[in-house]
Amino acid sequence: MSNAGELGESRSGGCQCGAVRFRIEGPLGKASICHCRMCQKAFGAFYAPLVSVANGSVTWTRGAPAHYQSSNLVRRGFCAACGTPLTYEAPDGIALAIGAFDDPSDIRPEIQFGVEGRIAFVCELDELPERRTEDDLVAAAFLADIVSNQHPDHDTEIWGRPNDPPDEAATPFSADQLETRENDA
Ligand SMILES: [Zn+2]
Ligand SMILES: [Zn+2]
């Protein structure tokens, strides 16, 4: 995988359910996290990880985000089917949610915005005790029964979810058309 910002690269991503998929052509802009209260709410998280992209570089390859106008100047895109936050769209440009990329591992934030809103314990999170998922023996039975509905981290020709309302599926799917789902939740 090439580095973020390298010329000629193309990156894909999408929401958790796969109803909305995107592709970015060309270099990414600045990657950041924003601690402002609006970003906390929009992501349901302690902060929002976002990377700016050049105007015109985003192609919605499946579906399109719904939008919430969070202020007079900014709207935020999300998947209407599963709720994944996807965009921050301001008059001076668009940024995408880093976690929604198929491979976010090298989209490294280089600045923190809105630090007046930062939740104090965020600076201490890496001191928490650590567990691997498979180390949680109490949850072993639960984990063994999980069948993930999450879209895989790459584009797919056909993708559907068995419990979709009919109007949300662009194409009719049958169970045997579904790509093997990844065993994680
Ligand atoms: Zn979705
Ligand atoms: Zn913010």
CATH number for 10-127: choose from 2.170.150.70, 3.90.1150.10, 3.10.20.340, 1.10.10.10: 2.170.150.70
Query: Across residues 143-156, what is the average pLDDT?
Result: 92
HSE-CB of 106 using CA atoms within 13 angstroms: 10
- Of 184, 20, 6, 7, nearest to 101 by C-alpha is 20
Distance (angstroms) between ligand 2 centre and the Cα of 36 equals 4
Kindly identify the ligand whose nearest atom is closest to the C-alpha of 34.
2
Kindly identify the ligand whose nearest atom is closest to the C-alpha of 32.
2
On whether the CB atoms of residues 73 and 38 are closer than 8 A, the answer is no
Weakest-pLDDT range from 51-65, 68-82, 111-125, 150-164: 150-164
**Structure confidence by residue, pLDDT tens digits, 161-185:** 655 554 544 443 433 444 444 444 4
Question: Is 126 or 141 the better-scoring residue by pLDDT?
Answer: 126
Q: Is 114 left (phi over 0), alpha (psi -120 to 50) or beta?
A: left
Which class for 47: exposed (0-12), middle (13-18), buried (19 or more C-beta within 10 A)? buried
Distance (angstroms) between ligand 1 centre and the Cα of 28 equals 23
Report every protein residue that has its C-beta within 5 angstroms of ion ligand 2.
Answer: 34, 36, 39, 114
Query: Across residues 144-155, what is the average pLDDT?
Result: 93
Query: Across residues 154-167, what is the average pLDDT?
Result: 72
Helices (H), the chain: 37-43, 140-145
Distance (angstroms) between ligand 2 centre and the Cα of 158 equals 35
Kindly identify the ligand whose nearest atom is closest to the C-alpha of 97.
2
Instruction: Delimit the CATH 2.170.150.70 region(s) of the chain.
Output: 10-127
Weakest-pLDDT range from 86-95, 134-143, 149-158: 134-143
- Of 4, 85, 82, nearest to 38 by C-alpha is 85
Distance (angstroms) between ligand 2 centre and the Cα of 1 equals 28
This prediction's pTM: 0.82
Distance (angstroms) between ligand 2 centre and the Cα of 170 equals 33
Give the per-residue SS3 of 50-82: EEEECCCCEEEEECCCEEEECCCCCEEEECCCC
Distance (angstroms) between ligand 1 centre and the Cα of 166 equals 15
